[in-house]
A and B are shown apart, each in its own frame.
Chain A
Amino acid sequence: MIELLSTAPPTSTGEAVAFWVLAPIAVIAAVMILLSRKAVHSALWMATTMIVLAVLFIMQGGIFLGVVQVVVYTGAVMMLFLFVLMLVGVDASDSFVETLRAQRVAGILLALGLGGMLVAAISRAAFPAAPGVGAANDGAGGHVEAIAQAIFTRYVFTFEVVSIVLITAAVGAMALTHKELLTPRKPHGQLSVERIRGEHPTPYPSPGVYARHNAVDTPALLPDGSASEASVPDELRRQGTVRYTELEAAREQESEGGTPR
């Protein structure tokens, strides 16, 4: 397989077909990253582009690199992106309000200029008749062997520096996302002592019991038909999103300012 891929002539028909199928997919997916309003959709289009690029790497004899691309990018980096998207909030759509006037037009024009310049430079350059990486692979006794030989001999210093970069990044990420506790965390023993000596030693009633719904925002009904405040989470009560039944709402208005049950 490796031999076949790396010693194939550079302009084989199969490769041309694969290229003309995959290249438009990559470009369309890249454009969709820009056009998607939701960041999650952008992330999915990004994953598409990366997988297509992995196939293009493999088509050009970079088999190890293509596999690493799939593992590192679509496996690790995109998962990290999705995790952070979930942390930051999936619903946060991008605002399309321009703070700088005509920034969008200027950005697109600049990028078109950059692309045009690069394309012009490439079209004017003379390239050798692509020999492929087959000879380099054979010299080392295989594709992975050739890469290993390059990394651990000629590029060993770069390799060490890159490992330092990775360790620094890991420590930096931990330092950045570390949160100091404002109050010391209570040990378990103290928590249970506080609970027994407090007002409510038994577990709180679960929401929705004897009520008509069993959602967390619907309080349980006590035997006398009144709602139990202790059965809904404090946070919901603070937000005022507790759902009382109609009967209960009427009772609440009657006994306004009553003691919490």
Chain B
Amino acid sequence: MNPENYLYLATILFAIGSVGVLVRRNAIVVFMCIELMLNASNLAFVSFARLNGNIDGQVVAFFVMVVAAAEVVIGLAIIVTIFRTRRSASVDDPNLLKL
């Protein structure tokens, strides 16, 4: 097997995650799909670390993981705040700025 297959897998997962971000309405599911895209990029980083024979790719993937955790904390807090005021977790409902 060719190690490039990991990169193909990462690409496929990234594309699936982007479909979810574009298509789904539930804000929490959209967030899950963003996490899927971040995970797919992590897989690509780890694969590149192996292809190039140095550890830097894994370190970058580690940082991506930490930033993803911070992003989830803030994103979910925003979802909870919106749910408190609008009683909905759908991304279609917050349309107060619409004319």
Q: Do A and B come from one complex?
A: yes
Which residues of A come within 8 Å of B, CB atoms? 10-11, 15-16, 19-20, 23, 26-27, 30-31, 33-34, 39, 42-43, 46, 49-50, 53, 56-57, 60-62, 64-65, 68-69, 72-73, 76-77, 80-81, 84-85, 87-89, 92, 94-96, 99, 103-104, 106-108, 110-112, 114-115, 118-119, 122, 127-128, 130-133, 135-137, 140, 146-147, 150-151, 154-155, 158-159, 162, 165-166, 168-170, 172-173, 176-177, 179
Chain A hits for B6, CB < 8 A: 19, 56, 60
Q: Please tell me if the beta carbons of A65 and B51 are within 8 angstroms of each other in the complex.
A: no
CA distance A260 to B89 in the complex (A): 40
Choose from A30, A95, A146 the contact partner of B36 (Cβ within 8 Å): A30
Task: For A53, give its contact among B4, B42, B51, B84 (CB under 8 Å).
Answer: B42
Task: Tell me, rounded to whole Å, the shortest Cβ–Cβ distance linking B52 to chain A.
Answer: 7
The answer to whether B22 and A133 touch across the interface, beta carbons within 8 angstroms, is no
Set B1, B59, B72: member contacting A150, Cβ < 8 A: B59
Which residues in chain B, 45-96, are within 8 Å of chain A measured between CB atoms? 46-47, 49-56, 58-59, 61-63, 65-74, 76-81, 83-84, 88-90, 92
Nearest residue (CB) in B for A106 is B22
Indicate if the CB atoms of A43 and B50 lie closer than 8 Å: no
Can you list 14 contacts pairing A with B, beta carbon distance less than 8 Å? A11-B1, A31-B16, A60-B46, A60-B50, A61-B49, A61-B50, A65-B46, A80-B76, A81-B32, A84-B79, A88-B89, A147-B55, A173-B73, A176-B78
With A84-B79, A103-B22 as contacts: A49 and B36 at CB distance below 8 Å: yes
A92 to B28, alpha carbons, bound, how many Å?
11
Residues of B within 8 A of A76 (CB): 69
Q: How many Å from the CB of A70 to the closest CB on chain B?
A: 11
* B2-38 with Cβ < 8 A to chain A: 2-9, 11-20, 22-26, 28-29, 31-33, 35-36
Complex Cα gap A62–B65 (Å):
13
Contact yes or no, B80 A122, CB < 8 A: no
Kindly list chain B residues whose C-beta atoms are within 8 Å of the C-beta of A11: 1-3
Query: Do B3 and A133 touch (CB < 8 A)?
Result: no
Q: A110's contact among B18, B36, B47, B58, by CB below 8 Å, is which?
A: B18
How long is the Cα–Cα vector from A33 to B34 in the complex, in angstroms?
12
B12 to chain A, nearest CB (A): 6
The residue that A166 contacts in the complex, of B43, B50, B52, B69, with Cβ under 8 A, is: B69
The interface residues of chain A lying within 8 Å CB-to-CB of B79 are 84, 88
Kindly identify which residue among B8, B47, B83 contacts A87, using a CB–CB cutoff of 8 Å: B83
Are the CB atoms of B55 and A94 closer together than 8 Å? no
Please tell me if the beta carbons of B36 and A33 are within 8 angstroms of each other in the complex.
yes
> Which A residue sits closest to B68, measured CB to CB?
A77
User: Chain B contacts of A103 at CB under 8 A?
Assistant: 22-23
Query: B5 contacts which of A23, A65, A69, A111 (Cβ < 8 Å)?
Result: A23
B69 contacts A72, CB within 8 Å? yes
Contact B80 A46 (CB under 8 A): no
The 5 closest A-B pairs by CB, nearest first: A107-B22, A115-B15, A131-B53, A16-B1, A169-B70
**Chain B residues whose CB sits within 8 angstroms of the CB of A26 once the complex forms:** 9, 13
CB <8 Å contact, A87 and B74: no
Known contacts A166-B70, A173-B76; can you find 5 more A-B pairs with CB under 8 A? A33-B29, A84-B80, A94-B24, A147-B59, A176-B80
Q: Is the CB of A57 within 8 A of B43?
A: yes
Asked, given contacts A19-B5, A111-B19, whether A27 binds B28 with beta carbons under 8 Å apart, the answer is no
